């Protein structure tokens, strides 16, 4: 299955997302902030990234922009998963290069459907 990088500063969200992904056979990589997420993505080249927005230091919008604009990581699809559910946030997230935008709490079926869609290209 796929190698998925989760970038989220919430231990609860990290646990929930990890459990959902591992249950379906995915391998999970974890980063607790945007800067670590960008560094880990460059190093490990995961198949996809699940990115939170509100994090200390480099936020999810900035981290997504760095990943999608860097030739080394631009092929890695980023799915933003956040509590920010305003339409302007969604538009901005897509502008940064995110392939999709989900709001928390995300249910398992939606997460897997979205993930499978971006992995399929």
For residue 121, name the pLDDT band (cuts at 50, 70, 90).
confident
Which domain covers residue 89, as residue numbers? 3-116
Query: For residue 121, is it within any domain?
Result: no
38-88 tens-digit pLDDT: 999 999 999 999 999 999 999 999 999 999 999 999 999 999 999 999 999
Domain at 72, CATH number = 3.40.50.2300
**pLDDT digits 0-9 by tens, 75-118:** 999 999 999 999 999 999 999 999 999 999 999 999 999 999 99
Measured over all CA atoms, what is the biggest interatomic distance in the chain, rounded to whole angstroms? 34
Is there a domain that residue 99 lies in? yes
* Helix pair 87-95, 60-69: axis angle to 10 deg: 30
Is 36 inside any structural domain? yes
Structure token digits, residue 16 = 């929930």
**What is the tally of structural domains in the chain?**
1
Do the domain assignments include residue 90? Answer: yes
Spatial CB neighbours of 117, under 8 Å, sequence gap ≥ 6: 100
Closest residue by Cα to residue 49 from 15, 95, 97, 107: 97
Chain position carrying tokens 């030739």: 71
pTM over 0.95: yes
């Amino acid at each position: 299955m796929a190698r998925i990088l989760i970038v989220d500063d919430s231990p609860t969200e990290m646990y929930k997302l990890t459990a959902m992904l591992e249950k379906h056979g995915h391998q999970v990589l974890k980063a607790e902030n945007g800067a670590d997420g960008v560094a880990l993505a460059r190093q490990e080249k995961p198949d996809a990234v699940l990115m939170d927005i509100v994090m200390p230091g480099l936020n999810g919008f900035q981290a997504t922009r760095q990943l999608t604009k860097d030739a080394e990581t631009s092929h890695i699809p980023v799915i933003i998963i956040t509590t920010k559910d305003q339409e302007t946030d969604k538009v901005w997230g897509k502008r940064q290069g995110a392939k999709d935008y989900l709001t928390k709490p995300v249910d398992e079926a939606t997460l897997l459907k979205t993930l499978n869609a971006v992995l399929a290209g």
